[in-house]
Amino acid sequence: MEIYLDNSATTIVCPEAAEAAMQAMTDNYGNPSALHSNGVRAKQLLEQSRQKVAAVLGALPEEVLFSPSGTIANNTAVIAAVNMRRRRGSRIVTSSVEHPSVARVMDQLEAKGYDIVRLKPKLNGAVDPEEIMNAVNEKTILVSLMYVNNETGAINPVEYARKAIKAAHSMALVHVDAIQAFGKMSVKPRRIGADFLSISGHKIHAPKGVGALYVKKGLIPPCHIYGGGQENGLFSGTENMPAIAGFGAACEVLPDPLTSQREMKKLRRRLLTKLSKIPTILINSPNDALPNIINMSILGMPSQVLVNFFSERGICISAGSACKKGHRSEVLTQLGYTPIRIDSAIRVSLSRYTTEEDIDRFVEVAIEASNKLRYREF
């Protein structure tokens, strides 16, 4: 039986989400913009799903806009924020370990003349709050930080973005990429001072093809995707109702974050304890990381070979980030690890469906892999 430990890449669709998606495909399958009875039912389903997502965020339903993916939500948030504040300055504060859906946008903005300040993480993988405070000045127009790093699980002190903006008397906006955090820990945009916050459905056992962008009430971001004006004009195009219905259903059955983290910590502790006596296995994730994500290196074998080794034995893991294939991890590079350690890194990511038996089997295969390798000094 296959063991799936790549939940930061995507998750199995939970039964409730699958049922909701099927119903949207076979019953309430109308276009939400249509005025006939099936369209009206689809519109009602759209708004009910919006309310379910908003409830988890502690947000107003009108502050939640559905997007085709988390990547598009991230792109849209950054570009919209910059367009809203571009006359007030040119500085943008971010980190050097953002997901490509933010990092590549920053590269494009830098090429256009914007002053991009990329904060390097500390040894624990997170950005230093003091550096956030020092980086923001009056000319800053945006602070964009990920809440949880997708490769290591490091948790950033994103609440300091708003504190820094207030201290600098800046009019900057705050964007938080909460795609890896949402559903695993408490994510409340108002509490952390976010103007924009991105999330994704398929990371929490909803179908692929849907994300959402929280936009603080009162903000009117300019659109850059033109069409029918759906989702307040920000994401034009007929809504993906099966995915949206599944997203809402998945949100409705999310476990309490504290309970979830307690269970994930037990599994993480079990994994790390069993691996701790093996000198050729090094843990790259910080101790205070989100417990769902464990990045490690099994020294002596390239990451992709390790992925294949585990796959042949029925275990699905990833080589660092599944979002970017064939490249040395920028995240682990920024943390100062050696190239050999980086090149042998893998990511194990857990979900509420992960069992102790799954962990034990992973450890067995990890030990087998370690024993088969020719040890070199790293």
Alpha-carbon gap, residue 130 to 143, rounded angstroms? 14
| E strands in the chain | 3-4, 64-67, 91-95, 115-119, 140-146, 173-177, 196-200, 211-215, 281-283, 293-298, 315-316, 345-349
Axis-axis angle for helices 257-275, 356-372 (nearest 10): 30
**Separation in Å, CA 240 to CA 11, 69, 355:** 19, 11, 32
Has 323 been annotated as catalytic? yes
Catalytic residue among 223, 251, 316, 323: 323
Tokens of 88: 């007030």
Tokens of 313: 């034995």
Alpha-carbon gap, residue 121 to 123, rounded angstroms? 7
Alpha-carbon gap, residue 148 to 340, rounded angstroms? 25
Q: What is the separation, in whole angstroms, between the first and last Cα of the chain?
A: 34
- Quick check: 303 and 343 in contact, CB under 8 A? yes
Tokens of 201: 């459905």
The most distant pair of C-alpha atoms in the chain lies apart, rounded to whole Å, by 69
Question: Which residues make Cβ contacts (< 8 Å) with residue 310, sequence separation at least 6?
Answer: 316, 317, 346, 362, 365, 369
Task: Give the active site residues.
Answer: 323
